[in-house]
Structure 1
Amino acid sequence: MEAPPDNDVLWARSLHYRHQDGSPGLAGVSLGVRVGEILAVAGPRGSGKTTLLQCLSGLLPVRDGEVWFNSSPVHTLGPTARERLRRDHFGWVEPAPVLVPELNVWENTALPLMLRGTGRRRARAAALEWLERLDAGEHARRHPRELQQAERQRVAIARALAPGPTVLFADEPTAPLHRGDRAHVLRTLTTASRSHGITVVLATHDADTAALADRTVSLLDGRRVRTVPLPDAAETEGRAACSLSV
């Protein structure tokens, strides 16, 4: 096995993946992600963006190809080791927020820190700091059911950033947000990356979102391509509005 370049925090070579129903997810994807870089993985829906992020983060086991994190082979790790890797080094943001309904906002945000063994007081302080950065501090004692969708997504993003991950995987993180909220959240993500040295791998089908990244990797039908046309935010919102009005 050939180790990745020293300045690549993530490195993948010849990734192939087929879903359980037999449909192809990835077909020979190779890439490197530099330390502190914001990398956009762009492409239309169904192009393999989520599958790629799941393979890079260890959520999906790699059986054909290689994935390296900080010069350590992720593709050789078992389930327990991959789970520990995700807990200690990675953050993840889903397209729709998934919060623990029994916990209030600051407890949801602090949960990954406390699972790592951080004391309750320190975990709460870090959680409140990130909630304030995302304009969600006023909701700290409320529960998820009391929040709107956009507010819950802000909390989910704060939860992913609070532990200070080495790499943040963001799978369409602004999909449920309106344009104004989307811009603010993306600015927070980019600022966090710059100031805290967090590498961000961002999956998006939106041209405006991809434009904020340092570099873009385009996927189409599970393969890397030179470029792929993406709709801008206004067009995306227009389509969503049309689908809701039908």
Structure 2
Amino acid sequence: MAPPDNDVLWARSLHYSLGGAPVLSGVSLGVREGEILAVVGPRGSGKTALLRCLSGQAVAEQGEVWFHSDPVHTLTALRRERLRRDRFGWIDPEPGLVPELSAWENAALPLLLRGVSHRAAKAAAQEWLERLDVGMYARKRPHALTQSQRQRIATARALVTTPSVLFADEPTAALHSADGAQVLRTLTAAARSHRITVLLATHDTRVAALADRAVGLLDGRRVSAGSLPPATGAEGVAACSLSV
């Protein structure tokens, strides 16, 4: 069964386990083109596993994932890799930059790997670095930058190809509130202006409020976002400190 016409990404009855323990239990959802969808839940609720299955990084044991008319769940590993390279972007909680490369080279890397010219790739990377207020660090390597600056460069790297779908897995979890708010504002503004579909995994309801819509996950099952328990401990501190 192909996805509805207005859904760019669609999943049905996903079941996924790690080490024999169920992580996703029958999760279904659809994401419209250009929509910013927040996937909200406490740590360990299955948010990362869901994003990995939707992006083709992992394959669910049961269920279907469709990107437009492509059945992601039946694609070969090579075709899933090409899909991620050509159509998807990904932001992790940690930047994961290449230490030997400068900031602009890290941001331009997806374009360079596609065979885009050095000049064009550098110009596109510089534009995104400027939008994220780290353009002045373009020639610096990651070790000379702060955590916030490195995460902004990772965000530029994810956006530089103007992906069809951007998967953001707790993209500001390691940042202070002001830095996190800046990154999120730029990310959501860029997504809306370029009609990039965004799946934003977060435990923070204030971050989720930036999205068009939110779905909740709890113990690997989809629930109403409004029925989730309040964040506690470190999560509660993060939620209280974020100001956007």
Q: Which TM bucket (shorter chain)?
A: over 0.9
Q: Deviations for 1:8-58, whole angstroms, at most 9, x for unmatched residues?
A: 000000000011x11111000000000000000000000000000000000
Could you say which residue in structure 2 is the equivalent of 1:11?
A: 10
**Distance of 1:4 and 1:235 partners within structure 2:** 37
SS in structure 1 of the partner of residue 14 of structure 2: strand
Could you say which residue in structure 1 is the equivalent of 2:86?
A: 88
Kept in 2: contact 1:206–1:236 (CA 8 A): no
TM-score if structure 2 supplies the norm length? 0.94
Q: 1:239 to 1:215 in 2, by over 3 A?
A: closer
Q: 2:36 aligns with which of 35, 38, 42?
A: 38
**Distance of 2:118 and 2:131 partners within structure 1:** 20
**What letter corresponds to residue 178 of structure 2 in structure 1?**
G
**Residues 128-167 of structure 1 aligned to structure 2 (within 5 Å):** 128-167=126-165
Q: Deviations for 1:214-234, whole angstroms, at most 9, x for unmatched residues?
A: 000100000001231343999
Q: Deviations for 1:84-141, whole angstroms, at most 9, x for unmatched residues?
A: 0000000000011100000000000000011112111110000000000000101100
Structure 1: any 5+ residue segments left out of the alignment? 241-246
Kept in 2: contact 1:174–1:182 (CA 8 A): yes
SS in structure 1 of the partner of residue 184 of structure 2: helix
User: Could you say what the CA RMSD is over the residues aligned between the two structures, in angstroms?
Assistant: 1.7
Could you say which residue in structure 2 is the equivalent of 1:244?
A: none
SS in structure 2 of the partner of residue 65 of structure 1: strand
Query: How many residue pairs were aligned?
Result: 238
Structure 2: any 5+ residue segments left out of the alignment? none
Q: 1:211 to 1:238 in 2, by over 3 A?
A: closer
SS in structure 1 of the partner of residue 178 of structure 2: helix
Could you say which residue in structure 2 is the equivalent of 1:236?
A: 237
**What letter corresponds to residue 103 of structure 2 in structure 1?**
V
TM-score if structure 1 supplies the norm length? 0.93
**Residues 1-246 of structure 1 aligned to structure 2 (within 5 Å):** 2-19=1-18, 21-227=19-225, 228-231=228-231, 235-237=236-238
**Distance of 1:210 and 1:150 partners within structure 2:** 20
**Distance of 1:221 and 1:202 partners within structure 2:** 18
